[in-house]
Structure 1
Amino acid sequence: MFKKATISVLGLVASVATAGSMGPACTPSNVTVPCITNLWDFGAQALYLRSIYGPAKAVELGALPENKEINSDWNWGYRLEGSYHFNTGNDITINWMHFSTSIDPTEFLGVLTIPAIGLPAIPAPFDLISRNRIDQVNVVMGQYTDLSMRDKMRFYGGLQYANIESTSKNYYITEEIPFIGSNPFTKFDNTDYKGIGPVVGIDYSYYITNSLSLTANGAGSILIGTNKYHAGFVVSPTEAIVEQVFFRKKGVVPSLEAKLGVNYAHNTPIGVANIQAGYQVVNYFNVLQEQLFPNLVGPVRPVDYGVFGPYFGLKLIGNA
């Protein structure tokens, strides 16, 4: 479902950081650049997002109900950004996106087996609780161009850093099992990725009036970093790890991002205030790790992670 949403948004084109009035252009040709100027801007966006995993982690294989999707909660995040504009349409921009959410306790019936301590395969219900988060930082340099009086584009490139984490626990309910009733088991399942690499993108805006514009954005990155996976069983009350799996490797992770929105610019005594709203989709491919079954069985394999949802923001542009 997430990949279909990604394709549909990308197909509509690429979000838009271009904001403010349409402004003069300095070259009377088909494609022009803005006049020399020195500006700054600061912006903040409220993000209302939901995270989603690839199919291999979106369901709990080997447990009942079969193919029950694990849905994360919608939650608020934020994006902060600042830019310095100089020369004929150049800018240096830094932005930071942060989002975290959780998955409410989800009931399953699985098979509990821990060969390391001689525990045979026994049916056992469990509650799954999970949290995930993403921090994304971009440092880029851009160039604005005027395709016409109404069509504006910004091409940019730079570096992106991403820190993505997913942690979960299975709380096995064993009170009714005589020989382990007083020593309940918990399984932890943690995976994360930290990487840095090049990012490129295009911002586009179409001005309906001097103040109101439709915006779109498309961006992609290729990150180089480290994947980690750590899972195991913990027995109470000692909290001792009785069996575990640890996996770590270097990984190259591509990502795609798309936005569609609107921007309204209003002049104020201290600069141009831009009110923004829209919808965004972000997907990192093969960025996290997971195992096929909940009992530390099967190979460790990669899985996608993404977020999607609306955003609302305010950006202030003023003279430097």
Structure 2
Amino acid sequence: MFKKVTIAVLGLAANVTIAGTMGPACTPGNVTVPCEAKLWDFSAQALYLRSVYGSEKAFEPGTSPINKEVKNEWNWGYRLEGSYHFNTGNDITVNWMHFSSSIDPTNFFGILTIPAIGLPPLPTPFELTSFNRIDQVNIVMGQYTNLSARDKIRFYGGLQYANIQSTATSYYITQQLPIPILASNPLSKFNNTDYKGFGPAVGLDYAYYITDSLSITANGAGSILYGTNRYHAGFVMAPFDAIVEQVFFRKKGIVPSLEAKLGVNYAHATPIGVANVQVGYQAVNYFHVLEAQSFANLVGPVRPVDYGVFGPYFGLKLIGDA
């Protein structure tokens, strides 16, 4: 019985690297579609990524060391995906990517300026900490096509939601300044920005089969989101955490994104379906999605910056008969 089930599932899900099923071709010719089938799949990927900002946020202009990059740490994230396959190569797929990272405390030396309380520009060292995260959700419908016996492709389109956040705090070392109130009540500066957007997404998955089980995979995708961008920054004085000066704005904006992946997939039959081991490298970038000020104070202009993540992924996908 297991042998019969395995042969049936392998016949329907031979090209599982792309997203689930590619089955035998029903019509002759150079380009065909899979035979009608009903399948499901579920996959989980471990992501080892590092996040990067555009130059306005990746560096601290007007400080020393000059051109010292604010590097986020490598960290683990995950991607979950589920699909239902029906008709002749159609599927409905939902996936969710989550990632967050931070930076170790980084020392800088800059100019502290707070006009709201009459504080003149003062050379002051400070320590910067930062945290960022991204949640991306896609709901798409796809169509598989057989370009040849070894080349398989899937076109898809749907909707994407993205929630991107970045928070940073600069702790100023003011004990040695010639101003008594600052010597006993240190200052810190918070710098928070986020974007939440929703819009159309399209993409293409490609697989080239070296053998019946081993394939090289590639993916390209893009989206155009419409959502809300917020920026909030200010100085806080201890010990009561009073905000002595701040900047805040909120605006609607359109944000494009691009995503690319390259990897390999190995398929193996199991008693409950076809298991696929996935390994590869990915990069995602959202253009002008966050905000940043050019200098380590509230005087500089607020400008949009990119946000992206990149790194390897490792995953397992299971495909079974619905």
Task: Identify whether the pair has TM-score above 0.5, normalized to the shorter chain.
Answer: yes
The AA in structure 1 aligned to 2:103 is I
Please name the residue that 1:151 is paired with: 151
The CA distance in 1 between the partners of 2:205 and 2:20, in whole Å, is 14
Matched, 1:281 2:277: no
The AA in structure 2 aligned to 1:236 is A
The CA distance in 1 between the partners of 2:20 and 2:40, in whole Å, is 12
Matched, 1:34 2:34: yes
SS in 2 for 1:181: helix
The percentage of counterpart residues that share the same residue type is 77
Matches for 1:1-320 after TM superposition, within 5 Å: 18=18, 23-178=23-178, 179=180, 180-320=182-322
The CA distance in 2 between the partners of 1:134 and 1:185, in whole Å, is 29
Residue segments in structure 2 that go unaligned for 5+ positions in a row = 1-15
RMSD: 1.1
The alpha carbon displacement at 1:113 in A equals 1.3
Deviations 1:247-300 (A, max 9, x none): 110000000000000000000000000000000000000000011111111221
The alpha carbon displacement at 1:22 in A equals 6.0
The alpha carbon displacement at 1:309 in A equals 0.1
The alpha carbon displacement at 1:307 in A equals 0.2
Distance 1:275 1:197, change over 3 A: same
SS in 1 for 2:301: strand
The alpha carbon displacement at 1:176 in A equals 1.1
CA contact (8 A) 1:22 1:210 kept: no
The CA distance in 1 between the partners of 2:25 and 2:137, in whole Å, is 31
Distance 1:21 1:198, change over 3 A: closer
The AA in structure 2 aligned to 1:257 is E
The alpha carbon displacement at 1:27 in A equals 1.0
Give the TM-score normalised by structure 1: 0.94
The CA distance in 2 between the partners of 1:299 and 1:170, in whole Å, is 18
The CA distance in 1 between the partners of 2:41 and 2:68, in whole Å, is 46
The AA in structure 2 aligned to 1:125 is P
CA contact (8 A) 1:21 1:211 kept: no
SS in 2 for 1:297: coil
The CA distance in 2 between the partners of 1:28 and 1:248, in whole Å, is 56
Deviations 1:160-183 (A, max 9, x none): 000000000000001112421101
The CA distance in 1 between the partners of 2:171 and 2:205, in whole Å, is 46
SS in 2 for 1:293: coil
Distance 1:212 1:25, change over 3 A: same
The CA distance in 1 between the partners of 2:106 and 2:24, in whole Å, is 57
The AA in structure 1 aligned to 2:159 is L
Deviations 1:81-140 (A, max 9, x none): 000000000000000000000011000001111110111111110000000000000000
CA contact (8 A) 1:192 1:227 kept: yes
SS in 1 for 2:56: helix
The alpha carbon displacement at 1:52 in A equals 0.2
SS in 2 for 1:28: coil
Give the TM-score normalised by structure 2: 0.93
CA contact (8 A) 1:21 1:265 kept: no
Please name the residue that 2:5 is paired with: none
Deviations 1:5-39 (A, max 9, x none): xxxxxxxxxxx951568631111111000000000
Aligned residues: 305
The CA distance in 2 between the partners of 1:258 and 1:292, in whole Å, is 30
The alpha carbon displacement at 1:246 in A equals 0.3
The CA distance in 2 between the partners of 1:87 and 1:205, in whole Å, is 21
SS in 2 for 1:298: coil
The CA distance in 1 between the partners of 2:92 and 2:23, in whole Å, is 19
Deviations 1:138-192 (A, max 9, x none): 0000000000000000000000000000000000001112421101000000000
SS in 2 for 1:250: strand
